[in-house]
């Protein structure tokens, strides 16, 4: 850091007592100080150090993907993670669901006046750690401050850029009748972890959010089984929503079985007393894969060999259906539809 | 999960399905009404119909609290929130119930009214304590299950000396509704609304934990129909169907209790005492779909009159007819099935309900739309005839 410039500040940021104030978003000296002492320190890389308004990078050959995701989760800190790592994982996963390797992230912060700087640092450090672990650089960013009462602490929007390996064509419209549907692990963990902290619900549970970056799992999957038709992470709206989206996009129906869908017993219990269906509860570290039947067993083995896919299961198959219904054989032995989510199960979970 | 999975066991379900198939006489139909929305939900969610012979028909009853709430009462609640500037607290499903002119509490909330969703009557009480300068109204709805919590909140409000808390009481009584349904099954020509043919009733689960099984004995004695009180788990429902079919085959009409792990003949004395302390019977109350039923609902009594919204605020009641095409009334009486309504799945869907049965997941229309409508396209065979043909 440049010593002459640092001396010109009135005093360093107070990480213990300090709070975000309007000047931190003014574009003036206080903004610059926040960028330097917080964001630069945490995300440190050449792009940010250049202090330009944009980041320049070389474009690799092949198809690039971009994805953007805003994060407004409440509470900001929850068992298993916080809004910081969630904002990195969420966007990395969106990029990865094209079969892509994520390369870069950008981050936009909307901070509420009065937000403790110590909490902000915790969040930014968590983001930086998640990005480092994922080997993805945060190369550009922006910070705005809104008056007290006009935000809820911190909102973070991240955008991810990635590149798709040669020979991989993954898209939500490629599910074909006969394809198998695979799920990477237990469902509902993230949603239940968040709900357990909500003021009006507040219940004791040991469930932690499953928030995780899935691109490592995806990389081994596309390497070993390049002919994957669809990948999607069932976040808001849960597994049910993801299956309906793909059925609609591909113009097919689906028949799944309830029995092999893994659900933690604590998640089942929480859903039971909250009147929720785990099929609709959010995940942040799971994926659904759809592939031709002949490679399904091989893909399952590859997923199970990865720590983030240890509980993977084949849960059903794609069928021909003009109505694009997702039907499920219940563990009880009957059949029912798994419809789109109606209304909102619980707001602001990611 | 302990004490839950045991009641959802697929192997046991298979065994019960075989027992029911063996018991059923192919020469006749069995028209069984599950009174409660909780049962309707279980039937749809677990696909119970698939485990039953085609001549066992389940008819969805009116036991869904938001389904039977008349439009006029929602209009009153909206007026309270908008014109009297109260904090209106209520259970989640109520927010989406369509009122007149396609309004709802959810819309009133979006337009600025202070409408809050609570999980318990005591949450509303807490809000009243936290905001002493605002009037807080708890929009109380439900059958006998949710009545004791309302009574508890009212009693506590009195004990705390709260001046800004009242309850807008819409609590209704199950036995009165069952009588209403059975009366509507009277033969044509008696001047009553045409009702469904009912051979037996799957009796309420949670309601019965409060009131016991005794209040249903009139069904067996006066109407000669069997009742089996059943838990809300799918195996409970299967077992109760088997018990009903056995009674019907034997020509018996008795009140039997499948839900012995929670229900006895006399119910929860403490809850009943609490309810009696706070509430009086209303001489008449309008039910959506069933019309006005005498002595079928409760109101707050004089001793707790200070906590009665209807005494504190002038809220004139105006009965409002359902949308012309809406068949909720006939569906709540068991005369029609959701798919018989021309609005079902077109103008009326869960995101945009016209009738109340499309609102709550316990409503017959919402349950069929969410879990069962694919069947309408699959098996259009002879077993898909209307219930009452």
Chain B within 8 Å of A272 (Cβ-Cβ)?
A: yes
Question: What ranges do the domains of chain B cover?
Answer: 5-63+188-257, 71-174+267-312, 328-384
Q: Does A201 touch chain B (CB under 8 A)?
A: yes
List chain B pLDDT tens, one digit each, 389 residues: 677 888 999 999 999 999 999 999 999 999 999 999 999 999 999 999 999 999 999 999 888 888 899 999 999 999 999 999 999 999 888 998 889 888 999 999 999 999 999 989 999 999 999 999 999 999 999 999 999 999 999 999 999 999 999 999 999 999 999 998 888 765 444 444 556 789 999 999 999 999 999 999 999 999 999 999 999 999 999 999 999 999 999 999 999 999 999 999 999 999 999 999 999 999 999 998 788 999 999 999 999 999 999 999 998 888 888 888 999 888 888 888 999 999 999 999 988 888 888 888 788 999 999 999 999 987 544 333 333 33
pLDDT-flagged residues of chain A (< 70)? 1-10, 199-201, 343-347
Cα-Cα end-to-end distance for chain A: 35
Which of A195, A254, A336 is best to mutate for the B interface (most B CBs within 10 A)? A336
How many Cβ atoms sit within 10 Å of the Cβ of residue B83? 12
pLDDT of residue B191: 45
> Measured between CB atoms, which of B1, B17, B366 is closest to A268?
B1
Dist CA B100 CA B76 (whole Å): 10
The reply to whether B71-174+267-312 shares the fold of B5-63+188-257 is: yes
Q: What are the beta bridge partners of residue B293?
A: B285
**What pLDDT is stored for residue A54 in this prediction?**
93
Q: Which residue of A lies nearest to B233 if distances are taken between CA atoms? A: A332
Give Cβ neighbours of residue B329 (< 8 Å, ≥ 6 apart). Answer: B288, B289, B290, B322
Structure-token pair, residue B95: 């927010």
Would you state the pLDDT for residue A65? 97
Instruction: List C-alpha distances in Å: B262 to A270, B43, B205.
Output: 21, 20, 9
- Contact at 8 Å (CB) between B315 and B79? yes
**Is B44 at the interface with chain A, CB within 8 A?**
yes
Closest by alpha carbon to A81, among A132, A122, A114? A122
- Residues in B closer than 8 angstroms to A269, CB to CB, are 1, 4
Contacts B1 to A, Cβ<8 Å: 265, 268-269, 272
Give the pLDDT score at A10: 62
Q: Give how far A347 is from chain B: nearest CA, Å.
A: 13
Question: Does domain B71-174+267-312 match CATH 2.40.70.10?
Answer: no
Q: Which residue of chain B comes nearest to A333, CA vs CA?
A: B10
- Tell me, yes or no, if A301 comes closer than 8 A to chain B by beta carbon: no
Structure confidence at residue A346 (pLDDT): 66
Class of domain B5-63+188-257: alpha beta
User: Where do the domains of chain A lie, and which CATH numbers do they carry?
Assistant: 3-164 (3.30.1330.10), 180-337 (3.90.650.10)
φ, ψ for residue B168, nearest 5 deg: -95, 100
- Residue B106 CA from chain centroid, whole number: 21
Residue of B167, B160, B161, B162 lying closest to B137 (CA atoms): B167
């Amino acid at each position: 850091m440049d010593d002459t410039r640092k001396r010109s500040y009135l005093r360093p940021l107070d990480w213990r007592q300090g709070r975000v104030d309007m000047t931190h978003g003014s574009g003036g000296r206080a903004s610059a100080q926040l960028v330097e002492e917080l964001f630069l320190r945490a995300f440190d890389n050449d792009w940010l150090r250049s202090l330009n308004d944009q980041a320049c990078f070389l474009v690799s050959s092949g198809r690039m993907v971009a994805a953007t995701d805003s994060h407004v989760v409440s509470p900001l800190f929850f068992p298993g993670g916080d809004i910081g790592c969630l904002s990195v994982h969420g966007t990395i996963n969106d990029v990865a669901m094209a079969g892509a390797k994520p390369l870069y992230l950008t981050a936009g912060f909307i901070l509420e006046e009065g937000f403790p700087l110590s909490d902000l640092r915790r969040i930014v450090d968590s983001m930086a750690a998640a990005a480092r672990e994922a080997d993805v650089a945060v190369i550009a960013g922006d910070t705005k401050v809104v008056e007290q009462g006009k935000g809820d602490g911190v909102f973070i929007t991240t955008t991810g850029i990635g590149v798709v390996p040669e020979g991989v064509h993954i898209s939500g419209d490629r599910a074909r009748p006969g394809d198998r549907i695979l799920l990477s692990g237990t469902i509902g963990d993230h949603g239940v972890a968040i709900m357990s902290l909500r003021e009006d619900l507040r219940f004791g549970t040991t469930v932690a959010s499953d928030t995780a970056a899935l691109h490592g799992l995806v990389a081994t999957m596309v390497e070993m089984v390049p002919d994957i038709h669809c990948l999607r992470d069932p976040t808001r709206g849960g597994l049910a929503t993801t299956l309906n989206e793909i059925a609609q996009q591909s113009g097919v129906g689906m028949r799944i079985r309830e029995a092999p869908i893994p659900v933690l017993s604590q998640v089942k219990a929480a859903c039971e007393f909250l009147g929720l269906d785990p099929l609709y509860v959010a995940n942040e570290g799971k994926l659904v894969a759809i592939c031709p039947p002949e490679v399904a067993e091989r893909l399952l083995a590859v997923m199970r060999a990865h720590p983030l896919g240890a509980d993977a299961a084949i849960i059903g198959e794609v069928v021909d259906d003009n109505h694009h219904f997702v039907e499920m054989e219940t563990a009880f032995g009957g059949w029912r539809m798994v419809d789109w989510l109606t209304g909102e199960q619980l707001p602001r979970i990611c | 999960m302990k004490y839950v999975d045991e009641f959802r066991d697929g192997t046991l379900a298979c065994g019960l399905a075989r027992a029911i198939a063996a018991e059923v006489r192919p020469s006749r139909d069995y028209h069984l009404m599950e009174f409660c929305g909780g049962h309707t939900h279980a039937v749809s969610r677990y696909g119970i119909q698939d485990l039953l012979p085609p001549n066992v028909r389940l008819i969805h009853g009116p036991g869904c609290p938001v389904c039977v709430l008349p439009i006029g009462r929602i209009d009153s609640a909206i007026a309270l929130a908008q014109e009297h500037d109260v904090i209106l607290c209520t259970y989640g499903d109520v927010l989406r119930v369509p009122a007149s002119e396609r309004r709802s509490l959810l819309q009133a909330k979006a337009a600025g009214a202070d409408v809050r969703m609570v999980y318990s009557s005591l949450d509303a009480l807490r809000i009243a304590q936290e905001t002493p300068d605002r009037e807080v109204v708890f929009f109380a709805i439900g059958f006998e299950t949710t009545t004791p919590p309302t009574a508890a909140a009212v009693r506590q409000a009195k004990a705390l000396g709260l001046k800004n808390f009242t309850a807008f009481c819409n609590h209704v009584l199950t036995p009165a509704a069952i009588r209403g349904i059975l009366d509507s099954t009277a033969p044509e020509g008696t001047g009553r609304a045409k009702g469904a043919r009912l051979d037996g009733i799957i009796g309420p689960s949670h309601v019965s934990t409060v009131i016991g099984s005794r209040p249903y004995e009139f069904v067996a004695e006066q109407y000669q129909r069997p009742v089996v009180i059943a838990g809300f788990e799918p195996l409970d429902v299967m077992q109760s169907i088997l018990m009903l079919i056995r009674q019907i085959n034997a020509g018996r009409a008795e009140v039997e209790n499948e839900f012995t792990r929670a229900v006895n003949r006399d119910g929860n004395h403490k809850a009943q005492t609490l309810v009696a302390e706070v509430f009086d019977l209303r001489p008449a109350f309008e039910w959506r779909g069933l019309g006005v039923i005498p002595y079928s609902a409760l109101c707050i009594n004089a001793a707790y009159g200070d906590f009665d919204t209807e005494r504190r605020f002038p809220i004139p009641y105006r009965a409002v007819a359902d949308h012309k095409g809406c068949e909720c009334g006939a569906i709540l009486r068991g005369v029609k099935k959701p798919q018989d309504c021309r609005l079902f799945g077109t103008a009326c869907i869960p995101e945009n309900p016209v009738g109340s049965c499309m609102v709550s997941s316990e409503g017959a229309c919402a349950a069929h739309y969410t879990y069962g409508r694919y069947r309408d396209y699959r098996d259009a065979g002879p077993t898909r005839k209307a219930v009452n043909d």
